[in-house]
Amino acid sequence: MDNDQQFPRCWAGLRLLSSLLLIVPLGGCAKLGPDFTKPPAPVAKDWLESDPRLKRDAAELRTWWKLFEDPVLDRLIDAAQAQNLPLQIAGLRILEARAGLGIALGQRYPQVQQVGGGAIFERSSDNQVNTAGTDSSAWTYDVGFDAAWELDLWGRFQRGIESADASLLASVADYQDVLVSLTAEVANAYLTVRTFEERIALANENVAIQRRGVALAAARYRNGETTELDLQQARALLNDTRATIPLLAAGLRHAQNALATLLGEPPGQVQGMLVGQPAIPRAPTEVAVGLPAELLRRRPDVRRAELRAAAQSALVGVATTDLYPRFTLIGSIGLAASSGTNTTRSGDNGFDKLFDADSLTFVGGPSFTWNLFNYGRIKNSVRVQDARLQQLLVNYQETVLRAAREVEDAMVGYVRSQEQVRFLAASVTAARRAVDISLLQYRDGAVDYQRVLDSQNSLVTQQDLWTKTRGDVTRNLVAMYKSLGGGWQIHEGRPVVPQQIRDEMRRRTDWGGLLEPSAPDGPAS
């Protein structure tokens, strides 16, 4: 047979394999399992707290911390968003989910596409009958391409893509939720630092006041106007106040260390960033809070709970497809030749005939598998996936309720702590005046030293409580912005991991375009 007659055989094999592969897109796809619908959410029409300081206008949450007009806080939050390690881990999970979506998308194409080949030497025993009349030893060569394409008749692969889509979006929402929490934690840590600094300053101020009392009691004791009791009581109060300063200093250091960790820095590396007026940031007297329904689209944890349920809903469909047969088109085309055959010349090992048209071999056709006697196992697998879906649907509703509760708690804390600060400020003013009066009266002998002790103790207590409550006002406002889902919007369109990490990953692995900020984070087309 000459080559002109042999090539049609080769092309026939190629046409057979191509026809089998082209049939696949023509197959219909009936997606099994439930189509996800957003579960009902128990959301109130309005907030319980109706104080006029809480406006129902649309809340400006993108950079809510700038309302405090504190440049130190601005720098700290910028540094944390660039350097925080848990935030980077959350960003890397997005990259992982993008790659996972790519795997799911690849299932739409032939699941097996392999090129293979081999060279095998075989020698038969000389003590056996050679019925074939061939050489006792021979080389066999082959090279070919194999393909297998499972038809997605029941939507198994399409449901897998839906699940991967939702999982990717859930990882984005998780990143945004970490960013919301990080911003609030940095603000709270900074507030704690400033509160401790002010409490230490007030403690030192009270030490100075109490030293005057000790000096006055010592002078009156030396003049024989009082007993030693007054002097020792004054000294006891002074040392008691002094003893609070080391404890406050330890709390300050702990807050600074916590802030350093949030910024991805070793302890002791943030002191230089805290240079500035050591004052507690003042919260505005009025804030816009919007309406409860806005939480469903604004809070990342609510969206994450919904998306996780959507991803699980698709997995119910994937499990359901195991109840039905799977249809697959298989095809293989290649070349094979051996030495010792009728077509090989004496002394040839068969390799020179491998690429002849007569060496063509191909096979192709449909096949199916059906797990007929495993219905109990498969049905229970579907039930497992459905139970997990129901858990996530209930978790979504619980997340919505928890979000509303957190906002309500922050609102009432913000409003009531402002009222508390106003009363405590008046109390501190009165306590300071009482100290001055009691010292004057004691110097004149009009009262005993117990009145001085009581007034100084009251001043220490009221000043410390007033300072902590002023910090609570701002802290409750931070909690309110966190519960409203503020802060993640600033990173829209920005890289989810720093450039240095992306460069390192590129050097190690071919990531294509998945490391770019423009990589898709939405449903795959």
Transcribe 285-300 into DSSP letters: S-EE---GGGHHHH-H
- Cα distances from 344 to residues 226, 333, 508, in angstroms, run 129, 22, 49
Phi, psi of 124, rounded to the nearest 5 degrees: -90, 165
**Amino acid in position 440:** L
Q: What is the pLDDT of residue 173?
A: 94
Tracing tokens 């797990």 back to the chain, one arrives at: 371
> Of 282, 284, 278, whose CA–CA distance to 202 is shortest?
278
Alpha carbon distance 309, 373 (integer Å): 31
Helix then strand then coil, % of the chain, to nearest 5: 60, 10, 30
- Other C-beta atoms within 10 Å of 426: how many? 12
Strands 326-338 and 112-123: unpaired
Q: What is the DSSP string of 99-147?
A: HHHHHHHHTTS-SEEEEEEEEEEEE--TTS--TT---SEEEEEEEEEEE
Question: What's the CA gap between 261 and 268, in Å, rounded?
Answer: 10
Parts of the chain with a pLDDT under 50? 1-7, 10-14, 16-17, 19-27, 346, 523-525
- What pLDDT, on the 0 to 100 scale, is given for residue 297? 83
From residue 401, how far is each of 89, 306, 411 by CA, in Å? 28, 13, 15
Task: Given CATH 1.20.1600.10, say whether it is the number of domain 31-108+152-325+370-508.
Answer: yes
Among 10, 41, 13, residue whose Cα is nearest residue 396? 41
Q: What digits encode the pLDDT tens for the residues 335-344?
A: 888 876 555 5
pLDDT of residue 127: 67
Cβ atoms 475, 185 nearer than 8 A? no
| Annotated domain spans of the chain | 31-108+152-325+370-508
Q: What is the pTM of this model?
A: 0.84
| Cα 343 to chain centroid, rounded | 66
Distance CA 420, CA 240 (A): 27
CA distance 436 to 381: 79
pLDDT value of residue 15:
52
In this predicted structure, what is the pLDDT of residue 24? Answer: 45
Q: Exposed e or buried b for every residue in 355-386, given b needs 16+ CB within 10 A?
A: eebebbebebeeeeeeeeeeeeebeebbeebb
| CA atoms of 160 and 182, how far apart (whole Å) | 33
Tell me, what's the pLDDT at 342? 53
H or E segment and range at residue 518: none
Residue 224 DSSP class: T
Q: What does the alpha-carbon distance between residue 470 and residue 480 come to, in Å, rounded to a whole number? A: 16
Half-sphere exposure of 70 (CA within 13 A, CB side): 24
Q: Write the DSSP assignment of 447-502 as a string of letters.
A: S-HHHHHHHHHHHHHHHHHHHHHHHHHHHHHHHHHHHTT-SGGGGTTS-SS-HHHH
What is the number of other CB atoms lying within 10 angstroms of the CB of residue 13?
19
- pLDDT for res 367: 87
